Structures are given as C-alpha cells and as structure tokens.
Amino acid sequence: MANPHPGSPLSPEEISRPTPQAGMSGLVNDWAAERRVFDMPWGKTMMWLFILSDVFIFACFLVGYMVLRISTVEPWPDASEVFALTVAGQSIPLLLIAIMTFILISSSGTMALAVKYGYAKDRRRTAALLLITALLGAVFVGMQAFEWTILIGEGVRPWENPWGAAQFGAVFFLITGFHGTHVTIGVIFIVIMAVKVMRGSLEGSRPGFLTGRKGNYGMIESLGLYWHFVDLVWVFIFAFFYLW
Amino acid sequence: MDQGSHQQPALRVYLRVWIWLFVLSVLSYLVDLSGLEGLPKWGLITLFMLLKAGLIVAFFMHMAWERLSIVYTVLVPPAVLLFLAALMALEADYTLTSRLGIFTN
C-alpha cells in the first residue's frame, strides 16, 4: 500500500519515516503520529481536496436537476429525441453524445499513460500523449459548442423550449456549460504542461513563471487527477441527464 | 492488484481498464437504444455508471494503490450527498403533490 508515485525528491522527513503499515492500523497510525497525515506530495493532496470540493458543486447541480425534474408538472423533454442526429436520412438517438463520451474516455486513457511515461522520464512520449489528450479535450468542447448551436437554433433557452418542461434548458446549459468550462481549463493546463515537459522543465526542477514552484513529474499526476475527475463527472452527466 | 509495489502499474492494467470503460459505455448506450423502461433501465444505467466511476477512480486516479487515510478522506464525505439527494427527492415529491393538488385542474 506504499505510495508508488514518488513525485518529489525525498525530504528528510520521508527518509526518517518508518515503513508504513497497511490497512486499518496504518490509517490510525497516519492520523495519530506527529507528522504529515498524507504520505504523498502536498500538491497531490491539495488536488484531491480540490476535487472533493468540486464533487460537492457538481453534486449540488445534479441534485438540483433531480428536484426540478421530479417536481415539474410538465413532461420532461425526451433526451433520446432531443439529442438525436440525422445521418443519411436516419435519425440516430444520442449519436453526438455517444461520440463525445468515447472521445473523453480516450483522452482519460492517454492522460493515464502520460502520467506513467512521465514517471518513466520518457519526455517525448509524455509530451505526445499530453498533446493528444489536449487535442481530444478540445474536440470534445468543439462538439459541445456544436450541440449548443443546434439546440439554440431549435429554440432552447434557459426559460423555454419547444418540447416540455421549461426548466430543461436552464439545467442543460448550467450543467453542460459548467462541465465544458472544466474541460476547457483542463485543456489549457495540459498544453502548458506539455510545453514544460518538452523543454525539460520538470526534469530540471525549473520554477514555473507564475507560482515559482519547482517542476517535478508529480505535477503531471496531479493534473491527471483533475482530468480524470472531469471524465468522471461526464460519466454521471451522461447517465443522469442524457440516458435517464 | 500489485499492492505494496513501488512500481507504476503495468501498461496492460491501463489498457484493460480503458477497454472496459469503452465496453461499459457501449452497454449503457445500448440500454437507451433497447427501449427498456422503468426499473430495469434505471438499474442498468446506474450499475454501468457506478462501474465506470469505480474503474476511473481506482485505476486511472490510482486510488487502488493509495493509503486508506487518503482513500477515506476522499470517498467518505461524498456519501453524505446520498442523504442530501434522498431529502431533496422527498421534498420534490411533496412539491409535485402540492402542485398537482392545488395549482392544476
């Protein structure tokens, strides 16, 4: 159960740390001993806590969506029909959403591999995988913009739509918009990280221009956690908003 | 899995998870196409959703290899969200009943 991802060079504290115990006694020991609780680079702990807070934000949106959908007396628009695409004269339900889902899962896979090759100090592969991840993320956002354009063209507004309950538009724009914003921010940071990897900033422990933090390959793992979280949120949106 | 090792998970672990995520996504899409209704539909969608979420968190986010102190810190607080969802479902149901009883007809 030891941390297999050494992100930063060993500090004196880590060298003197006793071999961590596994399981429940290890949990008690981590919290009771007079030292850092989490045996990982601080940046990764902070990313996990940020993700935890973001989980609560998205959960509040989804619970709000549930309340609106349960309590409305109007019929809720049928997502299968609303998000159908017509290809070669045939209407295929949820086609665009299915493609977007596959693109985001693919990008999560390339991100996981980028983290792996980062720790292996394979700069070329890491940078390439990060750029592929960013590209897939950008395609996802582009398809979302396309979807929004279609729906706006069909008359969907946050306060009305042609098919049923007026709350549909408000929920759709809020939830997919907030998720799309997360993807966009992720793409920007992944591109920045790819540049850092390519010029060797992580290996050379070069300080970043904004925060001055010294570069290390643990940063890719923290960024990867964020990206997988964005994918994770999409899993829930896909199930609750599009399929339910 | 390879708990206790100081190595990065093997490449095939990632590839296997990746393939499973694709398969589960296809399955949940098929649920929508199949025209199932009611409990079987919601049950299957929720099942596939939770399996996908579990795979992403456990392997892509490396939770399977982390110590319990961070695992519990991240995974226990979201459990209270189920309580929030249950309360709000009751509330929404009451709102619907009131609307149907008082404002329509």
Residue pLDDT, tens place only, A216-231: 888 999 999 999 999 9
Asked if B21 and B57 sit in the same domain, the reply is yes
Are A230 and A188 in contact by the 8 Å Cβ rule? The answer is no
- Which of A1, A83, A117, A140 is best to mutate for the B interface (most B CBs within 10 A)? A1
Higher pLDDT, B83 or A203: B83
Asked if A66 and A115 sit in the same domain, the reply is yes
Of B8, B56, B93, the CB nearest to A116: B8
Residues making up chain B, counted from first to last: 105
What's the whole-model pTM score?
0.90
The pLDDT tens digits of the residues spanning A167-197 come to 999 999 999 999 999 999 999 999 999 999 9
Asked if B15 and B49 sit in the same domain, the reply is yes
A30 Cα distance to chain centroid: 28
- A31-45, A57-71, A72-86, A204-218: lowest mean pLDDT where? A204-218
Asked if A144 and A28 sit in the same domain, the reply is no
Domains in chain A, number: 2
The residues near A85 (Cβ < 8 Å, ≥ 6 apart) are A91, A92, A95, A96
Asked if B60 and B82 sit in the same domain, the reply is no
- Residue A37 contacts B where some CB pair is shorter than 8 Å: yes
Q: What is the pLDDT of residue A11?
A: 55
Q: Sort out which chain A residues have CB atoms less than 8 A from B46's CB and list them.
A: 239
A104 Cα distance to chain centroid: 9
Asked if B45 and B76 sit in the same domain, the reply is no
- Residue A61 contacts B where some CB pair is shorter than 8 Å: no
Q: What is the phi/psi pair of residue A24, to 5°?
A: -60, -45
- Under 8 Å CB pairs connecting chains A and B tally to 173
- Are B104 and A73 in contact (CB < 8 Å)? yes
Asked if A74 and A14 sit in the same domain, the reply is no
Asked if A222 and A123 sit in the same domain, the reply is yes
Q: DSSP class of residue A18?
A: P
Asked if B55 and B16 sit in the same domain, the reply is yes
Asked if A168 and A68 sit in the same domain, the reply is yes
- Are B56 and A228 in contact (CB < 8 Å)? yes
- Residue A86 contacts B where some CB pair is shorter than 8 Å: no
Asked if A67 and A1 sit in the same domain, the reply is no
Asked if B76 and B33 sit in the same domain, the reply is no
- Residues A151-173, buried b or exposed e (16+ Cβ, 10 A)? beeeebeeeebebebebbbbbbb
- Residue B100 contacts A where some CB pair is shorter than 8 Å: yes
- A47-61, A79-93, A145-159: lowest mean pLDDT where? A79-93
pLDDT-derived band at A16 (thresholds 50, 70, 90) equals: low
Question: Where in the sequence is the domain holding B100, given as residue range(s)?
Answer: 68-105
- Are A4 and B7 in contact (CB < 8 Å)? yes
pLDDT beneath 70, residues of chain B:
1-7, 104-105
Asked if A57 and A134 sit in the same domain, the reply is yes
Asked if A118 and A235 sit in the same domain, the reply is yes
Percent of chain A's residues with pLDDT above 90:
66
| ipTM of the prediction | 0.90
Q: What is the pLDDT of residue A12?
A: 53
Asked if B19 and B59 sit in the same domain, the reply is yes
Asked if B61 and B79 sit in the same domain, the reply is no
The CATH number covering residue A148 comes to 1.20.120.80
Asked if B6 and B39 sit in the same domain, the reply is yes
pLDDT higher than 90, residue A15: no
Relative orientation angle of helices A218-237 and B38-55, to the nearest 10 degrees = 180
Asked if B16 and B52 sit in the same domain, the reply is yes
The pLDDT tens digits of the residues spanning B15-42 come to 999 999 999 999 999 998 888 888 999 9
Helix (H, G, I), strand (E, B) or coil at A209: coil
Asked if A120 and A210 sit in the same domain, the reply is yes
Are A179 and A234 in contact by the 8 Å Cβ rule? The answer is yes
Question: Where in the sequence is the domain holding A31, given as residue range(s)?
Answer: 1-40
Asked if B74 and B50 sit in the same domain, the reply is no
Q: What is the pLDDT of residue A214?
A: 83
Q: What is the pLDDT of residue B77?
A: 93
Asked if B33 and B58 sit in the same domain, the reply is yes
Separation of alpha carbons B15 and A104, rounded Å? 15
Domains in chain B, number: 2
